[in-house]
């Protein structure tokens, strides 16, 4: 009789706000091969970052989500750069625990909400933010953060919309992350600097673990 493999344990997240509280930085990751995904995720976890956004920007993205979701205990796996309703279904089937979109056109937003998964939908203007708020979302992605007005813009948003919280992503660096996190309406930031392309290609997991530890320390 073939023994069954128990599913790996995952932190429970049931709403968008839970995602923002997992870590000060959500690594936004592109992998070129599925084989890179599991050791990369484990390095982030050892460094104190229990969340990862694996994007669909490469052919390996969907397989990487499935691999990390099934093999890395303690890691919350999100699917990023989800841009079609069909991709919503695919990432849900692969085991993604939350969805991240760069924008929120009606069909995509409808499919993502219908999935039942927590959603960080992208918004770059106040109108887009209010549209998402009307749909019941109080936590969202501010994207592209630097190009959409940066910290001054997002700080101004807190006046008319104090209930909204954000994960700014796009142009945020190791050097500027702390300044973004100091804004009262920012719960976390998204960034790619935790997983440099050369470190991933070389399998330099110790370097990624060290960058993760540095990022984890941004929240006392």
- Structure tokens of 181? 């996190």
Per-residue confidence band for 4, with pLDDT thresholds at 50, 70 and 90: very low
Q: Looking at the domain assignment, is residue 4 inside a domain? A: no
Given a contact cutoff of 8 angstroms between Cβ atoms, the answer to whether 18 and 118 are in contact is yes
Share of the chain above pLDDT 90, in %: 92
CA distance 144 to 170: 5
Segment 176-207, tens digit of pLDDT? 999 999 999 999 999 999 999 999 999 999 99
Q: State the average pLDDT for the chain.
A: 94
Instruction: Quote the pLDDT of residue 13.
Output: 74
Does the pLDDT of residue 110 top 50, yes or no?
A: yes
Q: Looking at the domain assignment, is residue 210 inside a domain? A: yes
Q: Looking at the domain assignment, is residue 2 inside a domain? A: no
Q: Looking at the domain assignment, is residue 10 inside a domain? A: no
Q: Looking at the domain assignment, is residue 11 inside a domain? A: no
Distance of CA 219 to the CA centre of its chain: 17
CA distance 206 to 39: 10
Q: Looking at the domain assignment, is residue 7 inside a domain? A: no
Instruction: Quote the pLDDT of residue 8.
Output: 66
Of 16, 128, 141, 209, the active-site residue reads 141
CA distance 143 to 188: 13
141 assigned to active site = yes
CATH code (residue 160):
3.20.20.70
Does the pLDDT of residue 2 top 90, yes or no?
A: no
| SS3 label, residue 2 | coil
| Nearest residue to 80 (alpha-carbon basis) of 100, 59, 60, 104 | 100
Higher per-residue confidence, 6 vs 60:
60
Q: Looking at the domain assignment, is residue 9 inside a domain? A: no
- Structure tokens of 163? 């209930």
Instruction: Quote the pLDDT of residue 12.
Output: 67
Segment 147-172, tens digit of pLDDT? 999 999 999 999 999 999 999 999 99
Segment 33-51, tens digit of pLDDT? 999 999 999 999 999 999 9
DSSP state letters, 6-44: PPPP-----SHHHHHTT-SEEEEE--SSGGGHHHHHHHH
Give the phi and the psi of residue 149 in degrees, each rounded to 5: 120, -10
Q: Looking at the domain assignment, is residue 49 inside a domain? A: yes
Per-residue confidence band for 10, with pLDDT thresholds at 50, 70 and 90: low
Of 53, 66, 128, 209, the active-site residue reads 53
What domain range is 163 assigned to?
17-216
| Total number of domains in the chain | 1
53 assigned to active site = yes
């Amino acid at each position: 009789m073939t023994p069954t493999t128990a599913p790996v344990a995952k932190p429970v997240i049931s709403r968008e706000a839970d995602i923002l509280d997992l870590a000060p930085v959500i690594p936004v990751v592109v992998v070129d091969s599925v084989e890179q995904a599991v050791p990369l995720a484990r390095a982030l976890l050892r460094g104190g970052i229990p969340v990862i956004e694996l994007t669909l920007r490469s052919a390996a993205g969907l397989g990487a989500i499935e691999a990390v979701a099934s093999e890395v205990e303690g890691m919350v796996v999100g699917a990023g750069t989800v841009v079609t309703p069909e991709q919503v279904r695919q990432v849900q089937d692969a085991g993604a625990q939350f969805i991240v979109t760069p924008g929120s056109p009606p069909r995509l937003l409808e499919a993502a909400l219908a999935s039942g998964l927590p959603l960080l939908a992208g918004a770059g203007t106040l109108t887009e933010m209010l549209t998402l708020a009307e749909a019941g979302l109080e936590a969202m992605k501010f994207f592209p953060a630097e190009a959409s007005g940066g910290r001054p813009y997002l700080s101004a948003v807190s006046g008319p919309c104090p209930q909204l919280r954000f994960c700014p992503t796009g142009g945020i660096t190791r050097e500027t992350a702390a300044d973004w996190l100091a804004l009262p309406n920012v719960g976390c930031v998204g960034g790619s600097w935790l997983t440099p392309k050369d470190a991933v290609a070389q399998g330099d997991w110790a370097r990624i673990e060290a960058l993760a530890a540095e990022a984890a320390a941004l929240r006392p």
